Amino acid sequence: MSFVFAPPPTVSIPVVGQQDRFPVHRIYCVGRNYEEHAREMGFTGREPPFFFMKPADAVVVADAGQTARVPYPTLTTNLHHEIELVVAIGKGGSNIQAADAHQHIYGYAVGLDMTRRDLQNDMKKQGRPWCIGKAFDHSAPIGPITPAAQVPGIAQAEISLQVNGQDRQHSHVSKLIWNITETIEQLSAAWTLQPGDLIFTGTPEGVAAVVRGDVLAGSVDGLQAIRVELI
């Protein structure tokens, strides 16, 4: 087969402990999935989960031991960090039940759902899609994927983010409103999941603005930490 121009390269993420990389298909994100974060955004109570997407090529790989350089995006003066646990899907399916969801998980990684909050808020007010606030270039820094079998305690893990060495976000994955397997059940009712899909599971409280020159250090217990500098 030939193409009218070179097709884009496959976006991929390193896997801890092996040479083969994880090819990215789609990036799904869960909105407001920690109670304290929902509160800080002006919402209360358990609502059904809702989803948005980022393009696969929004990924910026934050390799182990390296500082990934992420350009400060255009059009915003209020770029927010959202530290998140990312679930990597290894086996596809639709209408997956929560009880079976573990069979579909390849592994986990630490990710940042970078957000142009000013643009997102404008879109919310106008009832328009969030794409410009959430799905911009370089909006999904992510660390190496750890295979699921190596992190049996992930559902209780600590999650945290420091900016320039100061604590900004700190919580536990156990505080997810919709946990990992419930999220897969809900998501797979709406879309057929495919191997290579990533799910950003939501951020805990403490989201705030970052500026050029800031260094973000994110971690989830048991996974490779990430380090990102905004340039």
197 touches Mn ion (CB under 5 A): no
Q: d(Cα 88, Cα 171) in Å, to the nearest integer?
A: 21
Residue type, 58: A
177 touches Mn ion (CB under 5 A): no
114 touches Mn ion (CB under 5 A): no
203 touches Mn ion (CB under 5 A): yes
113 touches Mn ion (CB under 5 A): yes
224 touches Mn ion (CB under 5 A): no
82 touches Mn ion (CB under 5 A): yes
In this complex, which beta carbon is closest to Mn ion, that of residue 73 or of residue 147? 73
Alpha helical stretches, state H, the chain:
35-40, 117-126, 131-134, 180-190
- Report the Cα 124 to chain-centroid distance in Å: 20
**Segment lying near Mn ion (by CB under 5 A), choices 116-124, 169-177, 187-195, 198-206:** 198-206
Structure tokens belonging to residue 21: 């990389």
Q: d(Cα 10, Cα 113) in Å, to the nearest integer?
A: 21
**Segment lying near Mn ion (by CB under 5 A), choices 54-62, 112-120, 147-155, 189-197:** 112-120
Q: ∠218-153-141 over CA atoms, to 5°? A: 25
185 touches Mn ion (CB under 5 A): no
SS3 54: strand
Closest residue (Cβ) to Mn ion? 113
112 touches Mn ion (CB under 5 A): no
Sites of contact with Mn ion (CB under 5 A) = 82, 113, 203
